[in-house]
Amino acid sequence: MCLSHKEHLWNDIFKKTQTRIKRQMGKENKYKKFLGICIVTVIVILILAYMGTRPYYIILKAFNNSQKFAEASFSITPINNSKHFMVSAFIDHRLDKTIRVISIINRNSLQPLYCVYCSIDHDCKTVNTDVQIHSDHFGFPFHVSDVICDGTHLQNATHVLISTDKDSPKLKMEYLPIQNRVIRATFKYNFTVCIPNLFGDYNNVLQFAQTMEIYKLLGVQRVVIYNTSCGPDLERLLKHYEREGILEIVSWPIDQFLNPSSGWNFNEHKGDLHYFGQLTTLNECIYRHMYQSKYVLLNDIDEIIMPYKHVNLPSLMEDLQSAHPSVGVFLIENHIFPKTQFEDSGKYKRPEWNNVPGINIMEHIYREPDRKKVFNPTKMIVDPRKVEQISVHSSLKYFGYTYHVPFDVCRIVHVRVPLQGYLTREQLFVDKRVWDFAQKLVPNVDQALKLSGVLKPQN
């Protein structure tokens, strides 16, 4: 590229200035050397940029672009001058590439909200929003919502915040980085399990280890947990699986911002938010892994989505998807295995696990029958790219169809307190499916407990 006379002139000035600085630096200490050259260099660059000479304008622009946005430091960010919170932001390529901000909105304090989005060159714009509060709030005042930024060509944005102020670009506020900016046709994981939240110092170590190891044998490559609090032993086990690479732990300090409920019914359990924000984390997890995982499993920490006619999840989903190509949401029935009923032989009552806190699911092989007049709730395996809004037991908004997977093909093994505690053992069904994994499961659980430090070596 040819330089103009003006550019040649300023190049000469720049070179002479540098020469003078070098001569002067020989007589000064190292600090003054560095300070002097920085000040003069910046001044010269600013002058040249102001005059519009192209090479230095490019240098200055690159310098400006290197300055980063003040990004939100937690998974929950209060929206200034409101009772609402931002959680995470995504480009939704399915809906005209708009920006979707997963949020927690106080339904009783609605107010105009604005979306401030910025591109890589710090060009920020303010647009109106469409606040979509999910329908299944169960009576709680705070609920998961999608704040949709109204506008076009939003896919080039890198950061966004939700504000009550139209002049937010002039304010120093924390921005959310925008995820899912690129569509991916291949995925890092085939199966990801989303565990909505841990709270109440949960310390059911043995059941968690067994569940994790069964999922690995079934073909799961990633498990995501939103952690509010857990017990010390489980924390050691979580760190082990995190080091191993299968577990992603998302800090979820919801109790620092709201009074979360430990139940699902507002009239019975009270509180600000349903079940420690379970619905927020489920929706967030789907969008977080939309282009990372082919399928996402949505279930609780004490549940295992278990194939019964297939050896693993890949073979199950290959058959289901082949038979139902338009389905994006597969509903899996929940079935209770009472932790109060033990099998008699003691075959898997191992002394090595006596001091490990938690439930040994291999001892509980008795399953409750369906209650004919009571709805049997389902959990889900979903194609995340076909889901827009999710609830606990069903999808609220989705693309395509849903399919109720037959009980004998796949069902949930849920070891917990009984729902039909009045039934005798003879009225329960024997279901030994977890024993099919025993040969690999038992040593794998032992190894995980040892590596985490929960299971101490025998003397």
pLDDT tens for the 459 residues of the chain, in order = 444 454 555 455 555 555 554 555 555 555 555 566 666 565 655 554 444 433 333 333 333 343 456 777 679 999 999 999 999 999 999 999 999 999 999 999 999 999 999 988 778 899 999 999 999 998 999 999 999 998 888 888 999 999 998 875 555 678 999 999 999 989 999 999 999 999 999 999 999 999 999 999 999 999 999 999 999 999 999 999 999 999 999 999 999 999 999 888 888 889 999 999 999 999 999 999 999 999 999 999 999 999 999 999 999 999 999 999 999 999 999 999 999 999 999 999 999 999 999 999 999 999 999 988 888 899 999 999 999 999 999 999 999 999 999 999 999 999 999 999 999 999 999 999 999 999 999 999 999 999 999 987 665
Same domain, 378 and 241: yes
CB count in 10 Å sphere of residue 69: 18
Instruction: Give the DSSP per-residue string, 138-169.
Output: TT-SEEEEEEEEP-SSGGG--EEEEES-TTGG
Cβ pair 117, 105 in contact under 8 A: no
Domain with 81 in it: what CATH number? Answer: 2.60.40
Which residues are within 8 A (CB) of 41 and not within 5 positions of it... i.e. 6 or more apart?
none
Domain with 379 in it: what CATH number? Answer: 3.90.550
Which DSSP letter does residue 371 get? Answer: P
How far is CA 148 from its chain centroid?
19
184 found inside a domain: no
Strand partners of residue 101: 89, 147
Same domain, 132 and 171: yes
Which residues are within 8 A (CB) of 448 and not within 5 positions of it... i.e. 6 or more apart?
209, 212, 213, 237, 240, 241
How many residues appear in the chain?
459
Residue span of the structural domain in which 42 resides:
5-65
Both tokens assigned to 362: 């291999």
Same domain, 158 and 205: no
Which DSSP letter does residue 363 get? Answer: G
Same domain, 137 and 224: no
Both tokens assigned to 230: 């857990």
70 found inside a domain: no
Domain boundary among 179, 199, 227: 179
Same domain, 252 and 392: yes
For 26, phi then psi, to 5°, come to -65, -20
Cβ pair 51, 43 in contact under 8 A: no
The total domain count for the chain is: 3
458 found inside a domain: no
Same domain, 53 and 102: no
Same domain, 133 and 11: no
Domain boundary among 16, 41, 65: 65
Both tokens assigned to 188: 């890092």
360 found inside a domain: yes
What distance in Å separates the CA atoms of residue 44 and residue 332, rounded to the nearest whole number? 67
Domain boundary among 26, 41, 65: 65
Same domain, 238 and 385: yes
261 found inside a domain: yes
457 found inside a domain: no
Same domain, 241 and 295: yes
Picking from 306, 433, 331, 416, the residue whose alpha carbon sits closest to that of residue 368 is 416
Which DSSP letter does residue 300 get? Answer: -
320 found inside a domain: yes
Both tokens assigned to 202: 């949960």
Same domain, 290 and 431: yes
CA-based radius of gyration for the chain: 28
301 found inside a domain: yes
What distance in Å separates the CA atoms of residue 115 and residue 104, rounded to the nearest whole number? 15
Picking from 315, 342, 302, the residue whose alpha carbon sits closest to that of residue 410 is 315
CA angle 392–398–399, rounded 5-degree value: 155
